[in-house]
């Protein structure tokens, strides 16, 4: 993975100093919840150039994003934008990752097993620390009136009301740093008048975006800010949002009036290694302006064809003059991309194809309970030793609770289910499949290593809260989870089976919206120790 060309060019324009910076991340061991701090320090100037506190361990990508901020927009008011001669980290994996990414910036990456300055700094960070984002202009000054006029023209075409949010347009211009962009409309939701445009940098970026939307976003809690942020930061795109504001906010340079309503423009860039940046560099502002102008011309010429056909196959070329350089123009090819639609509309296609795969709807008795359990390390060890059927899987070395989906039924049925799973080579993975339709039904499935699909349960919008909470716990362990089979469906232990009543534990993983019946059966060894 590499930084965008425009970002590399922008950072190379900053002066390089002989200083050596140090950076890394640590757990702060908060009294309430475990929190983590990541930072880049300048020992010579005795400055904290960037710092971030969050609820998850910092990843190499996050530390790279912070390094870009440390170079370009340091948080400390006395720090000037510049590139260091070298950086020192105390993590080998981070060193290898950063070496490849910062090579174009002429920055050396060194490793030390222990960096005393970092240790001392993180010891001081026991309390919550905040830092404000730098106050940056979203657009270069000369582009502000141009954008307001061009976006008002685009908005008056009302494309957002005519096309859905999975209708991409392919824009190609050999003069751009990223020659091919895929433009996707962000539609108004409900009574909202807000709208937007996302310009994904390449086909892979667009496919990755829609894959995460289809497979992950339905299971994310809107209040889980850290995980939502990590999902957003996997994108690689330029974005432009147009949001309705109060008339009192019209003094903002990027505000304008459209059809009697006040709006403001927000621009930005998202990249896995750079993070979210709320401004355009001049070449990015030029590129996005040309892209918008191309879309306007394309829609005016093809509007009637879209009225006759939902998504016609079209390919047109336009010459767009530069808004700021009178001697410069761009040849832009704008096309629909029907070949991308099957990949983008994957949720519907997978739901339809899933209906064609045989699913055993009677594997789990009707009188069974589906329980969402969580076992601390000690209890998990006791459970592993107690069950008659055990499938070993990959369990993180450190965890607070191991999520186990537990089927509780009658004693004879529990024994039969555990034996059947063992006969089919154990559980390959669990999966959650949202089905299209207003009912928002979600199927919870298990695929055995004999490539059979077992329907464990179905959930609707009202009954799915427990499933969503359990999925969040599984996500915290990178998908690791277990499937257990227990008895005791009546009596005092109903919904609370004891360790003695759990007859089988199958350690596996959760993979969203995924079924693979084309691979050969891959039975796993099951430890059987019947009493």
Q: Which residues pair with 407 in a beta bridge?
A: 370, 485
Q: What is the mean pLDDT of residues 58-71?
A: 91
The chain-wide mean pLDDT, for the chain, equals 82
Q: What is the mean pLDDT of residues 293-317?
A: 87
Residue 247 or 395, more confident: 395
In contact, 159 and 185? CB cutoff 8 Å: yes
Q: What is the mean pLDDT of residues 168-181?
A: 92
**What is the helix (H) or strand (E) element at residue 275, kind and residue range?**
strand 275-277
Task: Band the pLDDT of 212: cuts 50, 70, 90.
Answer: low
What is the full DSSP assignment across 288-306? HHHHHHHHHHHHHHHHHHH
Residue 347 or 400, more confident: 400
**What is the helix (H) or strand (E) element at residue 64, kind and residue range?**
helix 60-72
Q: Which residues 6+ apart lie within 8 Å of 125 measured at CB?
A: 26, 28, 37, 53
In the chain, % of residues over pLDDT 90: 38
pLDDT of the residue at 422: 94
Residue 42 or 27, more confident: 42
What is the full DSSP assignment across 112-162? -S--HHHHHHHHH--S----PPP---SS-GGGHHHHHHHHHHHHHTTHHHH
pLDDT of the residue at 530: 57
Q: What is the mean pLDDT of residues 185-200?
A: 74
Q: Which residues 6+ apart lie within 8 Å of 73 measured at CB?
A: 81, 134, 136
pLDDT of the residue at 353: 45
Task: Band the pLDDT of 162: cuts 50, 70, 90.
Answer: low
What phi, psi does 405 have (nearest 5°)?
-80, 120
**What is the helix (H) or strand (E) element at residue 195, kind and residue range?**
strand 195-201
Alpha-carbon distance of 329 to 509, in angstroms, equals: 53
Task: Band the pLDDT of 467: cuts 50, 70, 90.
Answer: confident
Question: CA dihedral in degrees (400, 405, 410, 411; nearest 10)?
Answer: -60
Considering the chain, tell me which residue range(s) the CATH 3.30.420 domain(s) occupy: 5-124
Distance set, CA 239 to CA 142, 150, 269, 325, 437 (Å): 19, 15, 6, 23, 30
pLDDT of the residue at 373: 93
Alpha-carbon distance of 221 to 297, in angstroms, equals: 40
Alpha-carbon distance of 64 to 70, in angstroms, equals: 10
User: At how many degrees (to 10) do helices 60-72 and 5-12 cross?
Assistant: 40
Q: What is the mean pLDDT of residues 156-182?
A: 82
pLDDT tens readout for residues 308-346: 776 788 999 999 999 988 889 999 999 998 777 644 444
Residue 419 or 46, more confident: 419
Q: What is the mean pLDDT of residues 492-513?
A: 90
Residue 256 or 164, more confident: 256
User: Domain 5-124 classified CATH 2.20.25?
Assistant: no
Task: Band the pLDDT of 131: cuts 50, 70, 90.
Answer: very low
pLDDT of the residue at 456: 93
pLDDT of the residue at 518: 65
Helices (H) and strands (E) in the chain, counts: 14, 24
Is pLDDT at 512 greater than 80 in this prediction? no
pLDDT of the residue at 344: 47
pLDDT of the residue at 349: 45
**What is the helix (H) or strand (E) element at residue 469, kind and residue range?**
helix 465-476
Is pLDDT at 228 greater than 80 in this prediction? no
Q: What is the mean pLDDT of residues 214-237?
A: 56
Distance set, CA 227 to CA 52, 54, 327, 529 (Å): 15, 10, 46, 40
Beta strand 389-391 with 527-528 is antiparallel
Residue with tokens 């509007």, as numbered in its chain? 303
pLDDT tens readout for residues 259-275: 778 888 889 888 877 77
Residue with tokens 């901020």, as numbered in its chain? 69
Lowest mean pLDDT among 363-367, 415-419, 458-462: 458-462
**Token reading at 462:** 């009202």
Is pLDDT at 406 greater than 50 in this prediction? yes
Lowest mean pLDDT among 128-132, 384-388, 418-422, 445-449: 128-132
Q: Which residues 6+ apart lie within 8 Å of 443 measured at CB?
A: 432, 433, 435, 455, 457, 458
In contact, 19 and 216? CB cutoff 8 Å: no
How far the first Cα of the chain sits from its last, in Å, is: 53
Is pLDDT at 137 greater than 70 in this prediction? no
Q: What is the mean pLDDT of residues 498-508?
A: 94
């Amino acid at each position: 993975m590499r930084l965008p060309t425009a970002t590399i060019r922008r950072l190379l324009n900053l002066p390089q100093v002989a200083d050596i910076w140090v950076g890394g991340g640590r757990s702060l061991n908060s009294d309430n919840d475990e929190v983590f701090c990541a930072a880049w320090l300048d020992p010579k100037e005795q400055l904290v150039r960037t710092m971030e506190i969050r609820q998850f361990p910092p990843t190499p990508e996050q530390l790279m994003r912070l390094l870009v901020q440390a170079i370009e927009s340091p948080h400390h008011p006395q720090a000037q934008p510049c590139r260091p001669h070298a950086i020192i980290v105390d993590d080998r994996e981070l060193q290898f990752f950063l070496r490849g990414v910062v090579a174009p910036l002429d920055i050396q990456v060194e490793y030390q097993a222990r960096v005393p300055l970092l240790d001392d700094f993180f010891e001081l960070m026991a309390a919550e620390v905040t830092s404000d984002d730098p106050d940056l202009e979203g657009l270069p000054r000369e582009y502000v009136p141009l954008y307001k006029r061009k976006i008002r023209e685009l908005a008056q075409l009302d494309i957002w009301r005519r096309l859905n949010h999975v209708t991409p347009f392919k824009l190609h211009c050999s003069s751009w740093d990223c020659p091919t962009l895929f433009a996707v409309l962000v539609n108004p939701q409900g009574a909202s008048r807000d709208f937007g445009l996302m310009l994904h940098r390449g086909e892979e970026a667009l496919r990755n975006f829609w894959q995460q939307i289809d497979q992950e976003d339905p299971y994310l809690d809107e209040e889980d800010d850290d995980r939502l942020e990590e999902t957003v930061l996997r994108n690689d795109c330029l974005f432009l949002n147009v949001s309705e504001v109060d008339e009192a906010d019209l003094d903002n340079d990027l505000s304008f009036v459209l059809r009697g309503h006040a709006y403001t423009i927000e621009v930005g860039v998202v990249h896995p290694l750079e993070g979210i940046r709320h401004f355009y560099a001049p070449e990015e502002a030029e590129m996005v302006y040309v892209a918008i102008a191309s879309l306007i011309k394309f829609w005016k010429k093809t509007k009637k064809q879209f009225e006759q056909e939902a998504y016609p196959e079209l390919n047109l070329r336009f010459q767009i003059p530069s808004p700021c350089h009178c001697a410069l123009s761009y040849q832009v090819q704008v096309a629909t991309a029907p070949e991308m639609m099957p990949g983008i509309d994957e949720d519907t296609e997978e739901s339809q194809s899933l209906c064609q795969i045989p699913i055993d709807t009677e594997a789990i008795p009707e009188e069974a309970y589906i329980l969402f359990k969580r076992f601390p390390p000690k209890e998990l060890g006791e459970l592993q030793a107690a069950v008659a059927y055990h499938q070993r899987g990959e369990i993180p070395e450190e965890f607070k609770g191991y999520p186990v989906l537990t089927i509780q039924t009658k004693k004879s049925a529990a024994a039969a289910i555990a034996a059947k799973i063992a006969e089919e080579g154990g559980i390959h993975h669990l999966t959650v499949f949202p089905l299209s339709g207003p009912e928002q039904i979600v199927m919870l499935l298990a695929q055995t290593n004999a490539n059979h699909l077992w329907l464990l349960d179905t959930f609707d919008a009202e009954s799915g809260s427990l499933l969503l909470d359990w999925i969040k716990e599984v996500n915290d362990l990178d998908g690791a989870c277990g499937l257990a089979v227990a008895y005791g469906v009546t009596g005092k232990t109903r919904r609370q089976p004891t360790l003695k009543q759990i007859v089988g534990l199958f350690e596996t993983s959760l993979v969203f919206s995924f079924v693979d019946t084309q691979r050969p059966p891959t039975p796993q060894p099951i430890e059987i120790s019947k009493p």
